[in-house]
Every structure is written in C-alpha cells, then in structure tokens.
C-alpha cells in the first residue's frame, strides 16, 4: 500500500485513492516552454512542462519522478533528494548562461531547491485536484453540491478564506474558472455534499450567472529575452451573497488550467452521459448542453477574446460532439480518442478567421451541429464536416471542417472552402468515404 505524504497540506488532499491523480499526470503530453508564462493556461491541462527545460528527455525524467513520488507517497524532501542528482548530471542546475529561444545569451536560474519546491507543489496539487474532481463528478447524482474548503498552514489569503464554506452546484459556471488551486501555493480543496446538507449543515448556497463572469487582459511581467510585456487573460467573478452583499474573486493570471477548465469538464460530462444512457442519447445530451445559452455565451467570449489584441493564449472552446454514427465509424477504423467532444483552439481560429465572418464564428457551434455531410479522409485520418451553405461562397463551394485525433483529443485541425466537384472525385476514388 502506498504511504501517505507527511506534509499536512498534502494529507488534506490525499484522503482519496491517488490513482485518478496519477492517471491525470501520466496522460499529459510534453510542452517546451521558456518563460513561466508559456507554461500556464489551458495548455498546461494537457501537457507537462517546466519553464526553461528545453529537452524532452529531461521533461520525461522529471515527470516520471513525480509520478513515482505520488505512487510511493514521497514528500517534497525525499523527491528532491531523488531528482537533484539527475538534474545536476544533465547540467540543469544553478545559474548558467545559456542560449535562449531568440538565439541570445541569457543568464538564467535553472534547478534550485526553491524551483524544485514550486515544481513539486504545482504538479502535485493540480494532479490531486484533478483526481478529486474526477471522483466527485462520478457522484453528482447523490452529491451535487460542491463546497470550497480553505486550507492554510499559515498566513491565509483573506480572499480564499472568504470562500470557505461557500456551496455551489457542481455545474455552476464558477467551477469553470475557479476550481482550486487558483494561484501559486493555493492548497484549498472542494468537497461534495448532498442537497440535504445545505439545510442540515447551514451551508451558504451561491449561484453564479453568466453575466457575473468577466474576462480582461492583464500584464503579468516581461519576456526575459525580448523585454516585451507579457499579457494573460484574467477572470473576474462577481459573488452575490444571500444577504445581498457582493464581492469579487479572480484566480491568478494563468490559472485557467485547473481540472474544471472547459475541455476537461466537457470530457468528463460526455463520458458520464455516454456511460449512463448510451452513446446515442449521451451525445444528444451533450449537444443540448453545448447549444444552451450559457455555453453559447462562453463560446462568444472565447471568440471575442481571441480577436482582441493579445498574444495567443492556447485556449480552446468545445464547439461540438461527435454523432453516434461518427463514433461507430471511428471504431471500425481503429481510431483511438478519449471522448467525442470536439474543440477549437485560438491559434487555428486566428489562422482561419477569414473563412467565416465574425458572426459565423460566434455561431460556429450551431453551424457544425447542422453539418449536412460527414466524410472520412482516409489519407489523413480526418473527419470532414460540411457546414450549412454560407452565402458568401458559390453554389459549388462548401465550408469543410477537418477534425482529427491529436493525442486522443478530437481537435479541429483545418477549416477550408472546397469545391464539391473535387470531393465527388475523391469519393469515386475511395480517397474519401461517406459516413452520413
């Protein structure tokens, strides 16, 4: 049996089997990042990354050491003792003058006891929070009320302490942006309760409306090798208490990468829907959620944020769910994917912005839900969705959305205007197969 870490703040999170947390960390890919701000936001939910680690093999070593620590119940000091010789042997230690991604010499701090503590705490707390999130999602029928629990060893953050005991439904929009940890060193957690516990335990039940959530850009620092301002998106949530008073809560810039970020929330909801009522009805339920007013508003905010004068944030918006027929076809092609939801990344959106009008991009979830033809591109292993006729294109043209599994995640990889006649030729040549 695995030992339980002896650090009090980790004991508070380790009151559940850590396998879900281990699975979360194991499932991450790898991302090379130089400055700390390149290793945040939603990309961090899917990728393991450490600032200024420019070698995949070293990232692999660090990630494996953290998984081992979690499996064996190691604390910070034991993990540091195990990983430090590896880092020193590879030269990733101390202050060094190196060549940065801009090709310039730069003196940087690589490995150090302080940096190792940050790496350990950040990855442990996020992975454990993800495991807790998954476990709570499995019990929402009986425990749909989620309660913020403040945990602090010393010097509590007053704004986090103020959240202690606040209860919200599991599907409250608040959790999309503020599922702890919500900043460096945050050790708060969420616990699930029954609906009857609201009255029995005198819980403060709060409901968040979409209009209570605002997004704005903030400068979080400067690039260490270009000197340019680094901009990140920050979320500001209005919290209305039952007595009529109001306050605001903002996760730290970059902390939109928690387990309840859009992709992971939708992935878990879709899995649960399919498990409960089957593929056909489950995907229909998710489609209804994606076309609900709050979700369409969230997508609209994604589009507007992406259009603003700000660097790419590596954000995604869930815009569609695969039809049951598409899922069955993918199985015949032995195509592996985690779940049927389809996401659109801000980078692709900006690259393909001119294909549709801004209004059509805002309406994109409805458009792709109305796709009237779905094909399979055998050469590129892609699903091809044909959107409803767009007035700005000729009668022989169609807007085609290509969707592909990337590390198990169904992503839109291209949006293009194609000639119908060319598609007919590919169908006749069996380059394309008709799905529906």
pLDDT value for 46? 58
Q: What is the pLDDT of residue 1?
A: 40
For 349-363, how does the pLDDT look when each residue is reduced to its tens digit (9 = 90+)?
Answer: 888 989 999 999 999
pLDDT (average), residues 5-15? 42
231 within 8 A of 242, measured Cβ to Cβ: no
User: Degrees (nearest 5) of the Cα angle 109, 112, 118?
Assistant: 100
Q: What share of the chain has pLDDT > 70, as a percent?
A: 83
Average pLDDT over residues 135-163: 84
Angle between helices 113-137 and 56-72 (to 10 degrees): 60
C-alpha span between 214 and 282 (Å, rounded): 31
Tell whether omega for the bond before 28 is within 30 degrees of 0, i.e. cis: no
Residues making up the chain, counted from first to last: 436
Average pLDDT of the segment spanning 171-190: 84
The C-alpha atoms of residue 172 and residue 146 are separated, in whole angstroms, by: 9
Give mean pLDDT, residues 289-315.
74
Q: What is the pLDDT of residues 89-100, one digit of tens each?
A: 988 898 888 777
* Cα 135 from Cα 149, distance rounded (Å): 17
Mean pLDDT score across all residues of the chain: 81
- Report the DSSP beta bridge partners of residue 238: 248
- Please say if the pLDDT value at position 11 is more than 70: no
* pLDDT-based confidence at residue 132 (cuts at 50, 70, 90): confident
Cα–Cα distance measured from residue 429 to residue 435, given in angstroms and rounded to the nearest whole number = 15
DSSP string, 98-130: EE-TTS-EEEEE-S-HHHHHHHHHHHHHHHHHH
């Amino acid at each position: 049996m695995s030992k339980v870490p002896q650090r009090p703040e980790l004991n508070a999170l380790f009151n559940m089997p850590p396998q879900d947390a281990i699975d979360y960390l194991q499932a991450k890919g790898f991302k090379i990042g130089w400055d700390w701000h390149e290793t945040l936001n939603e990309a961090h939910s899917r990728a393991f990354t450490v600032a200024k680690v420019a070698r995949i093999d070293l990232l692999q070593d660090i990630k494996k050491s953290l998984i081992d620590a979690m499996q064996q119940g190691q604390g910070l000091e034991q993990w540091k003792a195990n990983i430090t010789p590896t880092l020193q042997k590879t030269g990733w230690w101390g202050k060094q003058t190196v060549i940065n991604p801009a090709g310039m010499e730069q003196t940087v701090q690589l490995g150090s006891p302080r940096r190792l503590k940050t790496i350990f705490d950040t990855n442990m707390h996020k992975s454990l929070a993800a495991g807790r999130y998954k476990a709570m999602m499995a019990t929402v029928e009986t425990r749909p009320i989620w309660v913020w629990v403040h945990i602090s060893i010393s010097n509590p953050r007053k704004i986090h302490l103020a959240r202690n005991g606040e209860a919200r439904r599991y599907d409250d929009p608040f959790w999309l942006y503020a599922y702890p940890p919500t900043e460096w060193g945050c050790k708060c957690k969420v616990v699930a309760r029954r609906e009857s516990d609201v009255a029995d335990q005198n819980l403060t039940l709060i409901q968040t409306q979409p209009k209570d959530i605002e997004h704005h850009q903030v400068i979080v620092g400067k690039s260490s090798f270009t000197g340019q301002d680094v901009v990140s998106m920050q979320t500001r949530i209005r919290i209305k208490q039952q007595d009529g008073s109001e306050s605001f809560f903002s996760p730290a810039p970059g902390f939109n990468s928690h387990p309840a970020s859009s992709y992971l929330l939708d992935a878990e909801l879709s899995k649960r829907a399919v498990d409960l009522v089957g593929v056909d009805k489950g995907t229909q339920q998710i489609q209804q959620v994606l076309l609900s007013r709050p979700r369409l508003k969230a997508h609209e905010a994604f589009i507007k944020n992406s259009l603003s004068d700000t660097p790419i944030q590596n954000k995604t918006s869930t815009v569609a769910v695969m039809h049951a027929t598409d899922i069955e076809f993918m199985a015949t092609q032995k195509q592996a994917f985690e779940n049927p939801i389809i996401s659109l990344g801000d980078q692709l959106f900006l690259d393909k912005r001119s294909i549709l009008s801004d209004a059509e991009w805002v309406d994109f979830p409805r458009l792709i839900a109305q796709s009237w033809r779905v094909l399979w591109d055998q050469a590129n292993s892609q699903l091809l969705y044909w959107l409803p006729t767009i007035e700005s294109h000729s009668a022989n043209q169609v807007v085609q959305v290509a969707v592909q599994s990337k590390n198990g995640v169904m992503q839109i990889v291209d949006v293009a205007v194609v000639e119908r006649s060319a598609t007919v030729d590919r169908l006749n040549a069996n380059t394309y197969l008709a799905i529906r």
